[in-house]
Structure 1
């Protein structure tokens, strides 16, 4: 058996990159290789379709270590010590080994932490006010509990950077308070006094390069400010915790965390700091979540958690899938915690030492992200640093540029998001009250974390409001004739495209002829008709179809699935065609036009 296997595998010689390129070039038949096969990432990084040993180079070092003691966090908003303690104990019982309490500062740590073993459970705090006072009480509780100093793990987040980037100003005593926290936890080597948040950048639409660069810029700024309070760079690096959001680009997110760890080490060297241990908390992003088809958020949270763990983070915080539109339930909280538990215990994430090391694709992505992030970091520093550039709104403008580009790709469906702009759940009914009215930009001086789906939600909200007012959900008919292959393909595309609106999209109706299709669809109970056929059929029959249709019905919305151009499109429009749906169509513009016409038909008094 072994000899047979050896002979079999010896028949397959390694394929060189040159041979692979020769074959691909032939298969492309003159098409542009870069346009067809090279992925141009939003970080302006070109990802090649093929990597092998010929691509090996000296890759980055100090990219972090896969944590065998990964912290599975549960976040708890503390309204009272008793309630917060009960929720924490329940979370620990369910398998969480880390609790992140979000408190206002006027709580009693002794009551909040009752019966929690601080030797085995990681306890962290996001403190919205009076942080130093709260930490002082926390320290007293630790002493009375006789917790081993080395066993106490976690961090304090006074929202030093978070408050600034989202509200535009630092509190009068922000850095004084931060320095006090340093002194209070100084004797606990594994407890972090300073949290630098980068999640607001990605959740406001930034790319991964920006997220890394701005977090490092803000670190340099904080080091300078804390030095005025007597805190040395060594002390800062020894007390660092970073919080990142996790995006949807799986391999790029892995590279992001690895690149960040490398660059942080390089920044530390500039301060003559070589020996320190920071922590990284990765939180599932707000940006990627949806209200429509909300259970898809579970899939997003899973892949986000996977990429963070493979990127060598120390802790993961998975938000409940319905957090964006609902009071978090025990069920959704439990499911969120189970995601990380399953990855750890059943999929063995965190139990294999750096599993992505040596992967040419990920190593290349890590290197490219690090190079781009370092360039951006240096550019910000050369122009005055983090605070100066944020005050001048340069950072906000750079993020806005990427955000607008992302939203354009989502609207054009070139950046697919399941349940939002592609593959909508047509069986789902969503209350208009849950849906967003659209993005309000607000103050240009601050960042505003948001969902990427807000504009599409606003479009869906308009549909649901109309349904609630008229008690009628608009019906979409897919009328097809002619070439079987093309009409099926275009009907499937139109079903998916128009379904984003929340309308009742019916299955394709096939007709023997264009004349029959025009007559029956014009008289049916549908509010929208989408004509589906081949380009050749359109050339021969589309104009007569539209003309016949409009003689019988002038009110219905009439669309065509495809991309007729030039003289044909002009004739169709003149005959009464309302628009087209195709790969180049913008879903927001197209559906808004449809909605406006239907609104006039179903609810003329509201127009």
Structure 2
């Protein structure tokens, strides 16, 4: 039966598909736009097997996550110890697997960790402490009476903090080295973060995000190995964080391309690929949220979350739809957690390690994106590496050009639901501007569309 079925159908090439599409679209085939990813990366709107290189596709697939599933990790913002404890325990009871605890601008002396972590065993439940405080000091507090093996980590990126504030990172780097030594037997504890969200929230396209994160990773590995840390530990004990935007296919390809590129870095340090296990957090984007029609953010976050898990994230953080303009309500937090639960239990995506494997479009897009990002990464290396590129303004110039293109696209009619199309007839809800413009190290363009309001920065300069 199988032989007869396939013998009745001859293979179809791209020309045959184009002829059929031309017929179905009644002469409007040319209205299909290509996929534009960055300034010089364009892909046809459809691909066939003839455009795929089997060896390269196999190389891309070999670098992807091997174990299916991900952690559902909502953000809980610290206000006071007992309130934050209740919020964390509630989230864990109703769908969350772990917690990202936001301790931004919080002095750890005010955290009262026994109250904050009451009823939460860090040996069983991962908590990622998002803070700019000294990593060793935070660890000493959370490890008191917590057992010998902790999960979670310190979600702190000292280099990103330097870019935001101008405060140099040497002291925090020494703290990371000390923390890596303290936690050397805790394989599920992340000692630092490489925060790619900073670039996304400053207008980067996916190619720029990949190149800049890769350059920062190399910078960290070099700095840490200079202080006696093995490159394998430096790579495996980082938390790589990305924002996921609304371009569904390109965001899937972005995470797959990152794992592929990271394998090239591990090869350069002569690390066994089988032992390199990058741990990726994906967070739905705040950059593209609508304020005039905030409920559309639910739909946008659902699409972004699906991109994240199909791209192979280890940790998924879905931000509540109302978080840009108010403290999230119980309803919005529950909906955000449930997005991940639906993807796990109703889509079966948690049963497949690499759901995108074999898609001609996604395989081609992943490879092309990785190639362009590698070119930009090498250009940054030729200019002296990540820190030199920031000090010279190269990174900022790249981001400003990309951001200007996004603003131009939006102004020329690129559809964003609830932003420039299908806007509700209601008074807009304006976002709070939490950016600190007092530091000359930073620059924020006040003329940006309201949807382009970042949680960190909107543009940066040296």
Contact 1:241 1:281 (C-alpha < 8 Å) held by counterparts: yes
Write the distance in 2 (CA, Å) between the matches of 1:29 and 1:398: 41
Contact 2:130 2:155 (C-alpha < 8 Å) held by counterparts: yes
Comparing 398-407 with 345-354, greater Cα deviation is found at 345-354
Write the distance in 2 (CA, Å) between the matches of 1:349 and 1:317: 16
From 16, 19, 44, the equivalent of 2:16 is 19
Q: Does 1:135 align with 2:131?
A: no
Query: SS of 2:144's equivalent?
Result: helix
**Cα drift, residue 82 of structure 1:** 1.5
Contact 1:109 1:134 (C-alpha < 8 Å) held by counterparts: no
1:289 aligns with 289
Structure 2 CA distance for partners of 1:269 and 1:172, relative to 1, 3 Å: closer
- Deviation track 1:139-158 (CA, whole Å, cap 9, x = no partner) reads 33322xx6xx3xx4322122
**Cα drift, residue 172 of structure 1:** 5.3
Contact 2:305 2:318 (C-alpha < 8 Å) held by counterparts: yes
In structure 1, the gaps of 5 or more residues are 458-607
Matches within 5 A, 1:109-124: 109-124=113-128
Contact 1:210 1:376 (C-alpha < 8 Å) held by counterparts: yes
Structure 2 CA distance for partners of 1:429 and 1:10, relative to 1, 3 Å: farther
Write the distance in 2 (CA, Å) between the matches of 1:173 and 1:192: 18
1:310 aligns with 310
- Deviation track 1:286-333 (CA, whole Å, cap 9, x = no partner) reads 111111110000011101000010001100111110010112111111
Contact 1:241 1:280 (C-alpha < 8 Å) held by counterparts: yes
Query: SS of 1:280's equivalent?
Result: strand
**Cα drift, residue 176 of structure 1:** 1.4
TM-score by length of 1: 0.67
Structure 2 CA distance for partners of 1:440 and 1:195, relative to 1, 3 Å: closer
1:374 aligns with 374
- Deviation track 1:421-451 (CA, whole Å, cap 9, x = no partner) reads 111112x2236xx3579x9998785476999
**Cα drift, residue 379 of structure 1:** 0.3
Write the distance in 2 (CA, Å) between the matches of 1:243 and 1:52: 33
Structure 2 CA distance for partners of 1:298 and 1:67, relative to 1, 3 Å: farther
Contact 2:121 2:146 (C-alpha < 8 Å) held by counterparts: no
2:421 aligns with 422
Q: Does 1:353 align with 2:350?
A: no
1 or 2 for the larger relative contact order (CA 8 Å, sep ≥6)?
A: 2
Structure 2 CA distance for partners of 1:118 and 1:110, relative to 1, 3 Å: same
Matches within 5 A, 1:399-438: 399-413=399-413, 415-426=414-425, 428-430=426-428, 434=430
Contact 1:253 1:311 (C-alpha < 8 Å) held by counterparts: yes
Write the distance in 2 (CA, Å) between the matches of 1:293 and 1:267: 42
TM-score by length of 2: 0.87
Query: SS of 1:454's equivalent?
Result: coil
- Structure of larger gyration radius: 1
Matches within 5 A, 1:7-46: 13-21=10-18, 37-42=33-38, 44-46=40-42
- Deviation track 1:192-225 (CA, whole Å, cap 9, x = no partner) reads 1121110010111100111111111111112222
Contact 2:69 2:353 (C-alpha < 8 Å) held by counterparts: no
1:327 aligns with 327
Matches within 5 A, 1:368-517: 368-413=368-413, 415-426=414-425, 428-430=426-428, 434=430, 445-446=441-442, 453-454=449-450
1:224 aligns with 222
Write the distance in 1 (CA, Å) between the matches of 2:444 and 2:314: 26
Write the distance in 2 (CA, Å) between the matches of 1:87 and 1:186: 30
1:56 aligns with 52
From 133, 154, 157, the equivalent of 1:156 is 154
Structure 2 CA distance for partners of 1:442 and 1:382, relative to 1, 3 Å: farther
RMSD: 3.0
